[in-house]
Structure 1
Amino acid sequence: MEFMTDPAGIEARSMEIIAPHLTGLQLSPAEVKVYSRMIHASGDPEYAPIIRIHPEAIKAGCQALSAGCNIYCDVEMVRTGINKNRLAEYGGTVQCLIADPEIAAIAQNNGITRSMAAMRQFAGQLDGAIVAIGNAPTALFEVLDIINRTNIRPALIIGVPVGFVGAAESKALLHETAPVPYITVLGNKGGSPIAAATTNALVYMLEK
């Protein structure tokens, strides 16, 4: 069997295959790049009609990244998938506390998830930063609660937690009520690869 082995060629061909699924969505060129990365990471064209991007999301995210903002993640899978070398060219880092023993202790003592505890620990650092959540709805609920209770305003929330308990609800709340720019996916779909791919789509748009 013959198959493609050139990485650049494989990616280019993938984007060609994805393109027809975006027809009729009236996307800007920048939105096409984000949609394409999300669909490519999932292998699922059914993402196309359920992706939601705030009108200021791409501009706000790119400006924050260019200024060297940090990215705060709910789980290690998101952190691992983000292109940290490219991000470091602008001075930013990717942070995740889910495996920190202190966070585990806080979560246990308070009867909350570790991802919630991590976001609470990050709270003071989220202002002007990017939050990337791909796994835990509770982390997204926590970030939205922090925003509602304080003057902390992330530059962008990439909120795509996956699953059947709280995922759809947390993303609907983000889409309907967040006072900051966001990128999300309605319903149960999502996941860490989608969060990382969405973040990378913005990182790859940057020009030094």
Structure 2
Amino acid sequence: MMNSTQANIALPECMHQLTKKGREIETDSFSIIDQEIEQFHGGHHFDNKSWEVVRRAIHTTGDFEFSKLYRFSQDAVDAGVTALQQGCPIVSDVTMISSGISKQRIQVYGNGVHCFISDLEVIHKARMLGETRAVGAMRKARDQGLLDNAIIAVGNAPTALFEVLRMVDDGEIEPALIIGIPVGFVNAQESKQALLEQKKVDFITSVGRKGGSPLVVSTIHALLYQTV
């Protein structure tokens, strides 16, 4: 049941661009992507729910190669949509993700967005232990009980993704969905491959070096769009 704040928001409207012109541009962009994926790129193999995610990734980057790179567990989109509708926390590895997620969209279901990469305690422990801040940030989120039934969003730090997978494997956390699309040259491919190969939690990822926080944000927005 929606609370009074949620009831004052037109659900379908708030998930779209806020202006008529913005909606027109977005709709035209998606139409071009749908046309060109068939005309120039041999089509795609995704179901409608997953294609909404991949199409937004292409829209965000201008790169049709993501139609070949994105990977989903069987129930990934449904798991993400359901978790968002239930008000799940979203925990990110970097502030770029938390800053990029639409505040208007997540307030509909009361989804909090959390990132501890700049937390002073996390920084201090990382220096003392010789580990990355991203690892410490995920551990702090775990200790605060934020990772169970959460969407964990990793777009920058492979070490964060590896640590999340370790916690899943050790039974420390049970997230609803892991969106793991870190970009880079050191362990980015390997961390995404590890996410792809595990069987304990639903995931959305990509293969190869390409990725980044904007793609994680676009993925979350695509899931939010499908909650209404």
Which residue pairs with 2:83 in the alignment? 64
Which residue pairs with 1:154 in the alignment? 175
- Stretches of structure 1 that go unaligned for 5 or more consecutive residues are none
The residue type equivalent to 1:87 in the other structure is I
Which residue pairs with 1:6 in the alignment? 21
Query: Does structure 2 retain, via aligned residues, the 8 Å contact 1:76–1:98?
Result: yes
The residue type equivalent to 2:118 in the other structure is A
RMSD (Å) for aligned C-alpha atoms: 1.4
The residue type equivalent to 2:190 in the other structure is E
Which residue pairs with 1:117 in the alignment? 136
| Alignment partners' CA distance in 1, 2:213 and 2:94 | 8
Q: CA deviation at 1:14?
A: 1.3
Q: CA deviation at 1:9?
A: 2.0
Aligned with residue 194 of structure 1, among 197, 212, 215: 215
Q: CA deviation at 1:26?
A: 2.9
Q: Percent identity?
A: 45
The residue type equivalent to 2:159 in the other structure is T
Which residue pairs with 1:17 in the alignment? 32
Q: CA deviation at 1:178?
A: 4.2
Aligned with residue 183 of structure 1, among 195, 198, 204: 204
1:88-167 equivalence runs, <5 A = 88-123=107-142, 124-167=145-188
The residue type equivalent to 1:104 in the other structure is I
Q: CA deviation at 1:27?
A: 2.0
The residue type equivalent to 2:25 in the other structure is I
Query: Does structure 2 retain, via aligned residues, the 8 Å contact 1:84–1:94?
Result: no
Deviations 1:81-128 (A, max 9, x none): 111221121121100011111110011111111011000111232111
| Alignment partners' CA distance in 2, 1:67 and 1:21 | 34
- Stretches of structure 2 that go unaligned for 5 or more consecutive residues are 1-19
Query: Does structure 2 retain, via aligned residues, the 8 Å contact 1:84–1:93?
Result: no
Answer with 15-24 or 98-107: which moved more. Answer: 15-24
The residue type equivalent to 1:165 in the other structure is V
Q: Normalising to structure 2: TM-score of the pair?
A: 0.85
Q: Where do 4+ consecutive residues of structure 1 move more than 4 Å?
A: none
